[in-house]
Amino acid sequence: MQQSNAAATAFYDHAGGGGSFNNAGPAGGDAGDAVMARWLQSAGLQHLASPLTSTGIDQRLLPNLLMQVRKRPLNKKEISRKEDDIVTVDENALMVHEPKLKVDLTAYVEKHEFCFDAVLDEHVTNDEVYRVTVEPIIPIIFQRTKATCFAYGQTVHGSVVLLLISSSRNMFFISGSGKTFTMQPLPLRAAQDLIRFLHQPVYHSQRFKLWLSYFEIYGGKLFDLLSDRKKLCMREDGRQQVCIVGLQEFEVLDVQVVKEYIERGNAARSTGSTGANEESSRSHAILQLAIKKHPEIKESKRNNDGNESKSGKVVGKISFIDLAGSERGADTTDNDRQTRIEGAEINKSLLALKECIRALDNDQIHIPFRGSKLTEVLRDSFVGNSRTVMISCISPNAGSCEHTLNTLRYADRVKSLSKSGNPKKDQAVTSLPPSNTDASSASSLPAPADIEVVYEQQQESKVVDTSQRVVEKDVYTVDFDKQLSKFPSGYSFNRREESGLTSGPTGRERFEVNNSYGSSTKRVYSSNSQYSADTEEKVQKVSPPCRKVTREEKSDKMAGIIAKKDGGGSDLSTTKSRQSNAVSCSNANNVGHRQYDPEPPDENINAILEEEEALIAAHRKEIEDTMEIVREEMKLLAKVDQPGSLIDNYVTQLSFVLSRKAAGLVGLQARLARFQHRLKEQEILSRKRVPR
């Protein structure tokens, strides 16, 4: 297998390679911008044009959902324990070599192959991750875009798993998969670029400002990480706008301040009152950078209570989300009740997130935001003009194999449910004819910008026999270049120097992808592998092999597609061949396999969480009422002590007050008893569940 990170390379190559996309004329967010840019230019005022217009970025060409996977390198401990690197990366695909044992204890390897928009291997730096994920989105934040960037993957703090390899019992300490490592630099870099944009006259003159907030969702509740972990409430206004009451927002003028806030938030996250690390892996941390447009305010009227942010109108926003460890959602069978409830809450939010991404990507009218606190909070980031980047982080070591597969299956599921991952939902794509058409029709190629990503028709996940899979072997075709071409040229590695706007901090290294990937990844795998000599390798293709398409083949394919598109007509044989070839790499992973979804939300858990909220609210209310009653009692006592007071009045009023007091207490006690009963029920139910 050729080892190269061509997924990333393709991003850069394509954009760097020019092509008609680059010549597509002024590509602002809309035609008006382009007209305005030309008009300003004619008047010698081009510096007032929207920076977006001048970068030639067409936000409509950015994919709505970008799904990437990042593999971290083996860490020192894993190397010293001679753990195997079981993940190999090949362009936009990766293979997990799962060590397994037969019943007779013979070892074998089961391979699982996955394809994503891009797979970033262990040599890819954080700089490069930023460039292919967040950087292209930054300019469109100024054009009313709400973007969301997730990191997803296993988080383990000193957990120990036992794994059987080659008949011997080995113990592995699992490390995190790199979510924090990946996510942490992104907001900083984004802030740096956002601030640079803010300095452009067009934004400066409109009083655009950058605001930062940082909060977490833990056990279905919101806490402000920049305000002593104060509990926050979420409210929806009449226009269904989500508002997090009490969330502190801070204006940021330079990157250093952003860094300090992030550090402060991270510290609060891991050293909270009940917390420490264990807790942080069970919470979703959300850092938001919002661009707001502020009205002109006279100095004398300036609001100095730190709430100036409220006067600004949100123009665009980018949210960075460090999701709770994926395996935490699995903690629903063991551990104490609290852990199980939290695990269920994580499951619920991961499922809800997937459902929302799916619904949005398919332009569904109803988006199930209410599925979880996480999706409710993100509601305004998803509606309207939105972009989502999901980075699934995986560990390479054998000890993490199960978690790695679960992470990849979740990502695969999200992607395959989305429009771009499922051609059935895209008429334009499904109507395209098969690949093996004469390349001579290339002359009729329209501009690449008009061509959609081409996937072969996907089959629903079902068990397909192995011989069939061999036939299906060579048919996976994704015009990845086209997919990548949706990214603007100004935001490529090779071109970035040419784009004045994208010149970041000095010392950003260029991405040398082709020299080290091939050999090194392979070397790591084979040198560490125990399987090659003494184990039988079972290539049980749970997923049909994905073949990476060469550049020439891609253009051949494209030519065929266009020829068919122009010529119309689909003969039986091609239709047939297309159908028999119809397996996408993405969906194929599920063939013969349980699809990985977090456990469906347990209705009981939902009810418990709701009742818990209600109980706490009722308790608060009861205290308020009691205080009111105590005040009345004090007045009563003061009155009765007055000379000439009427004892009958006192008795009647005291009786009334005490009845109210008792009624309040009885009501709260009844609610408490119901809640206790619920907890008991939940405990019994989860104990009945067969442990995984």
Binding site for ligand ATP (CB under 6 A): 72-73, 75, 122, 153, 155-157, 175-181, 281, 393
Q: What's the start-to-end Cα distance of the chain, in Å?
A: 34
CB of 391 to ligand ATP, least distance (A): 11
Question: Which tokens is 644 given?
Answer: 């000439």
Residue 575 C-beta: closest distance to ligand ATP, Å = 44
Task: Give the residue with the Cβ less far from ligand ATP, 72 or 557.
Answer: 72
Smallest separation, CB 406 to ligand ATP (Å) = 14
Whether residue 34 contacts residue 550, with contact meaning beta carbons closer than 8 Å, is answered with no
Residue 338 dihedral angles phi and psi, to the nearest 5°: -55, -45
> Minimal distance in Å, beta carbon 322 to ligand ATP?
7
Q: Which of 157/294 has CB closer to ligand ATP?
A: 157
Nearest CB to ligand ATP, comparing residues 128 and 479: 128
Q: Least Å distance between CB 154 and ligand ATP?
A: 7
User: Closest by alpha carbon to 182, among 133, 129, 131, 120?
Assistant: 129
Q: Which is nearer to ligand ATP, 404 or 459 (CB)?
A: 404
What's the distance, CA 531 to chain centroid?
Answer: 34
| Cα–Cα distance, 528 to 320 (Å, whole number) | 35
Distance of closest approach, residue 141 Cβ to ligand ATP, in angstroms: 25
Is the CB of 284 or the CB of 317 nearer to ligand ATP? 284
Q: How far is the CB of 429 from ligand ATP (least distance, A)?
A: 33
CB of 395 to ligand ATP, least distance (A): 8
Nearer to ligand ATP, 180 or 372 (CB): 180
d(CA 559, CA 557): 5
Which position has the token pair 């919470």?
A: 283
What's the closest the beta carbon of residue 5 comes to ligand ATP, in angstroms? 12
Closest separation in Å from C-beta 492 to ligand ATP: 21
Q: Which lies closer to ligand ATP via its Cβ, residue 172 or residue 455?
A: 172
**What is the C-alpha separation between 268 and 229, in angstroms, rounded?**
7
Instruction: Give CA separation, 236 vs 93, 211, 370, 379, in Å.
Output: 42, 21, 11, 10
Report the nearest approach of ligand ATP to the CB of residue 280 (Å): 7
Q: CA 282 to CA 324: how far, in whole Å?
A: 5
Nearer to ligand ATP, 292 or 328 (CB): 328
Q: Assess contact for 212 and 249: CB atoms under 8 A.
A: yes
**Residue whose structure tokens are 């020299």:** 515
State how far the Cα of 379 lies from the Cα of 51, in Å rounded to an integer: 28
Distance CA 279, CA 293 (A): 36
In this complex, which beta carbon is closest to ligand ATP, that of residue 129 or of residue 546? 129
Residue 463 has which token pair? 């068990």
CB of 134 to ligand ATP, least distance (A): 16
| Cβ neighbours for 18, distance < 8 A, ≥ 6 positions apart | 489
**Residue type present at position 657:** V
Q: Residue 687 class from Cβ within 10 Å (0-12 exposed, 13-18 middle, 19+ buried)?
A: exposed
CA distance 605 to 126: 38
- In this complex, which beta carbon is closest to ligand ATP, that of residue 157 or of residue 593? 157
Q: Which is nearer to ligand ATP, 183 or 360 (CB)?
A: 183
Which residue has its beta carbon closest to ligand ATP? 176
CA 20, distance to chain mean position in Å, is 32
Cα→Cα distances 234→237, 244, 646, Å: 10, 4, 50
Phi, psi for residue 620 in degrees, rounded to 5: -60, -45
Instruction: Determine the longest span between alpha carbons in the chain, in angstroms.
Output: 112
CA distance 116 to 273: 40
How far, in Å, are 526, 627, 657, 682 from residue 631 at the CA level? Answer: 78, 6, 11, 40
Q: Are 38 and 26 in contact, with CB atoms under 8 Å apart? A: yes
Choice between 123 and 292, CB closer to ligand ATP: 123
Of 176 and 371, nearer to ligand ATP (C-beta) is: 176
State in angstroms the smallest separation of the CB of 153 from ligand ATP.
5
